[in-house]
Amino acid sequence: MSELEDALNELQLHNQQLQTVMMQKQSLMIQDKEMEKALEEIEKSGGEEIFKSIGPILVKTSKEAIKKDLEEGREETELKVKALEKQEIRIKQKIKSMQERFQSLTQGGSGG
Protein backbone atom coordinates (compact mmCIF):
# COMPACT_ATOMS: atom_id res chain seq x y z
CA MET A 1 0.00 0.00 0.00
CA SER A 2 3.04 2.26 0.41
CA GLU A 3 3.48 2.84 -3.33
CA LEU A 4 -0.20 3.75 -3.61
CA GLU A 5 0.10 6.24 -0.74
CA ASP A 6 3.23 7.73 -2.29
CA ALA A 7 1.43 8.16 -5.61
CA LEU A 8 -1.54 9.80 -3.89
CA ASN A 9 0.70 12.15 -1.89
CA GLU A 10 2.62 13.13 -5.01
CA LEU A 11 -0.62 13.74 -6.89
CA GLN A 12 -1.90 15.97 -4.08
CA LEU A 13 1.40 17.86 -4.03
CA HIS A 14 1.22 18.54 -7.78
CA ASN A 15 -2.39 19.70 -7.43
CA GLN A 16 -1.33 22.16 -4.72
CA GLN A 17 1.53 23.41 -6.90
CA LEU A 18 -0.87 23.88 -9.80
CA GLN A 19 -3.26 25.85 -7.62
CA THR A 20 -0.42 28.09 -6.39
CA VAL A 21 0.83 28.75 -9.93
CA MET A 22 -2.68 29.56 -11.14
CA MET A 23 -3.22 31.99 -8.26
CA GLN A 24 0.11 33.72 -8.99
CA LYS A 25 -0.81 33.95 -12.67
CA GLN A 26 -4.21 35.43 -11.84
CA SER A 27 -2.61 37.99 -9.53
CA LEU A 28 -0.16 39.05 -12.25
CA MET A 29 -2.96 39.34 -14.79
CA ILE A 30 -4.87 41.62 -12.40
CA GLN A 31 -1.75 43.78 -11.95
CA ASP A 32 -1.38 43.97 -15.73
CA LYS A 33 -5.00 45.11 -16.10
CA GLU A 34 -4.42 47.81 -13.47
CA MET A 35 -1.34 49.06 -15.33
CA GLU A 36 -3.29 49.04 -18.60
CA LYS A 37 -6.07 51.12 -17.01
CA ALA A 38 -3.50 53.53 -15.56
CA LEU A 39 -1.95 54.00 -19.01
CA GLU A 40 -5.40 54.73 -20.45
CA GLU A 41 -6.06 57.34 -17.74
CA ILE A 42 -2.68 58.97 -18.36
CA GLU A 43 -3.58 59.34 -22.04
CA LYS A 44 -6.88 61.00 -21.11
CA SER A 45 -5.38 63.46 -18.62
CA GLY A 46 -4.31 66.90 -19.74
CA GLY A 47 -0.97 68.52 -19.06
CA GLU A 48 2.51 67.08 -18.96
CA GLU A 49 2.78 66.34 -15.25
CA ILE A 50 0.79 64.02 -13.04
CA PHE A 51 1.06 62.74 -9.49
CA LYS A 52 2.46 59.36 -8.57
CA SER A 53 1.69 57.66 -5.28
CA ILE A 54 4.77 56.55 -3.38
CA GLY A 55 3.66 55.06 -0.11
CA PRO A 56 1.57 57.62 1.78
CA ILE A 57 2.68 60.62 -0.34
CA LEU A 58 2.03 61.92 -3.84
CA VAL A 59 4.95 63.05 -5.98
CA LYS A 60 4.67 65.19 -9.10
CA THR A 61 6.28 63.53 -12.12
CA SER A 62 6.14 63.64 -15.90
CA LYS A 63 3.61 61.66 -17.90
CA GLU A 64 6.39 60.16 -19.98
CA ALA A 65 8.26 58.83 -16.94
CA ILE A 66 5.11 57.18 -15.60
CA LYS A 67 4.21 55.78 -19.02
CA LYS A 68 7.68 54.30 -19.34
CA ASP A 69 7.48 52.74 -15.86
CA LEU A 70 4.05 51.26 -16.56
CA GLU A 71 5.03 49.90 -19.97
CA GLU A 72 8.15 48.28 -18.50
CA GLY A 73 6.02 46.88 -15.69
CA ARG A 74 3.59 45.38 -18.19
CA GLU A 75 6.45 43.80 -20.17
CA GLU A 76 7.89 42.31 -16.99
CA THR A 77 4.47 41.03 -15.94
CA GLU A 78 3.92 39.48 -19.37
CA LEU A 79 7.21 37.59 -19.10
CA LYS A 80 6.29 36.32 -15.65
CA VAL A 81 2.86 35.18 -16.87
CA LYS A 82 4.46 33.29 -19.77
CA ALA A 83 6.87 31.58 -17.38
CA LEU A 84 3.98 30.62 -15.10
CA GLU A 85 2.02 29.28 -18.08
CA LYS A 86 4.94 27.02 -18.99
CA GLN A 87 5.16 25.87 -15.38
CA GLU A 88 1.40 25.26 -15.37
CA ILE A 89 1.69 23.04 -18.45
CA ARG A 90 4.52 21.01 -16.89
CA ILE A 91 2.58 20.52 -13.67
CA LYS A 92 -0.56 19.48 -15.57
CA GLN A 93 1.51 16.91 -17.47
CA LYS A 94 2.90 15.58 -14.18
CA ILE A 95 -0.62 15.41 -12.74
CA LYS A 96 -1.88 13.49 -15.76
CA SER A 97 1.03 11.07 -15.47
CA MET A 98 0.45 10.65 -11.74
CA GLN A 99 -3.28 10.09 -12.25
CA GLU A 100 -2.50 7.32 -14.74
CA ARG A 101 0.00 5.79 -12.32
CA PHE A 102 -2.47 6.05 -9.45
CA GLN A 103 -5.20 4.43 -11.57
CA SER A 104 -2.95 1.56 -12.59
CA LEU A 105 -1.99 1.00 -8.95
CA THR A 106 -5.60 0.97 -7.77
CA GLN A 107 -6.81 -1.22 -10.63
CA GLY A 108 -3.84 -3.56 -10.51
CA GLY A 109 -4.14 -4.06 -6.80
CA SER A 110 -0.35 -4.04 -6.40
CA GLY A 111 1.78 -1.71 -4.43
CA GLY A 112 2.57 -2.73 -0.99
Q: pLDDT tens string for the chain (112 positions)?
A: 588 888 889 999 999 999 999 999 999 999 999 999 999 999 998 888 899 999 999 999 999 999 999 999 999 999 999 999 999 999 999 999 999 988 888 887 654 4
Report pLDDT for 108: 76
pLDDT value for 111: 47
CATH code: domain of residue 60:
1.10.287.370
Return all residues near 108 (Cβ < 8 A) that are at least 6 apart: none
pLDDT value for 109: 61
Dist. CA 93–CA 55, nearest whole Å = 42
CA dist., res. 29 & res. 44, Å (int): 23
- What is the domain range of residue 75? 2-108
Strands (E), the chain: 49-54, 57-62
pLDDT of amino acid 65: 94
Structural domain total, the chain? 1
Q: What pLDDT was estimated at residue 32?
A: 98
**C-alpha span between 99 and 105 (Å, rounded):** 10
